[in-house]
Structure 1
Amino acid sequence: MSKFNDRVFGLVMLVIAVAYYYGATQFPVPFGGSEAVGPETFPKLLAVILAICSLYMIVKPDPDNHWPVAKTFVELGIAVVVLIAYALLLEPLGFILSTMLAVGTLCWRMGARPKKAYLTGLISGAVVFVLFTYGLELPLPLGLLEMN
Structure 2
Amino acid sequence: MAFNDRVFGVLLIVLAVVYGWSATQFPEPFGGAEAVGPETFPLLLAAVLALSSLYLILRPDPDDPWPWSRTGLELIIAVVVLVLYALLLQPLGFIISTALAVGTLCWRMGATPIKAYVTGAIAGVVVFVLFNFALDLSLPLGLLDFLEVD
- TM-score interval, smaller chain: 0.5 to 0.7
Match of 2:114 in 1: 115
Cα distance in 2 for partners of 1:89, 1:80 equals 14
**1:78 corresponds to which residue?**
77
Alignment of 1:60-139 (within 5 A): 64-139=63-138
Q: CA RMSD in A?
A: 3.8
Q: For the residues of structure 1 that align with 2:86 and 2:123, how far apart are their CA atoms?
A: 17
Is there any run of 5+ residues in structure 2 with no aligned partner, and where? 7-35
TM-score (norm 1): 0.57
Q: Which amino acid aligns with 1:78?
A: I
Structure 2 CA distance for aligned equivalents of residues 136 and 82 of structure 1: 27
User: Taking every aligned residue pair, what percent have the same amino acid on both sides?
Assistant: 61
Q: CA–CA distance in 2 between the matches of 1:74 and 1:66?
A: 14
- Quickly say closer, same or farther: Cα 1:67–1:77, change in 2 above 3 A: closer
Amino acid at match of 1:71: R
Determine the structure 1 residue equivalent to 2:139.
140
What is the aligned residue count? Answer: 112
Residues 15-50 of structure 1 show CA distances to partners (whole Å, capped at 9, x for unaligned) of xxxxxxxxxxxxxxxxxxxxxxx899x96xx87xx7
Alpha-carbon distance, 1:144 to partner: 1.2
Larger gyration radius, structure 1 or structure 2: 1
Is the alpha carbon distance of 1:65 and 1:85 closer, same or farther for their aligned partners in structure 2, counting shifts above 3 Å?
A: closer
- SS of residue in 2 equivalent to 1:96: helix
Q: Where does the alignment leave 5 or more consecutive residues of structure 1 unmatched?
A: 10-37
CA contact (8 A) 2:66 2:72 kept: no
Superposition deviation, residue 66 in structure 1: 4.9
**Which structure carries more relative contact order (alpha carbon 8 Å, separation 6+)?**
2
User: What TM-score, normalized to structure 2?
Assistant: 0.56
Distance 1:79 1:92 in 2: 21
- Residues 101-136 of structure 1 show CA distances to partners (whole Å, capped at 9, x for unaligned) of 000000001110000000000001100000101111
Larger deviation, residues 63-72 vs 137-146:
63-72
Q: How much does 1:100 deviate?
A: 0.3
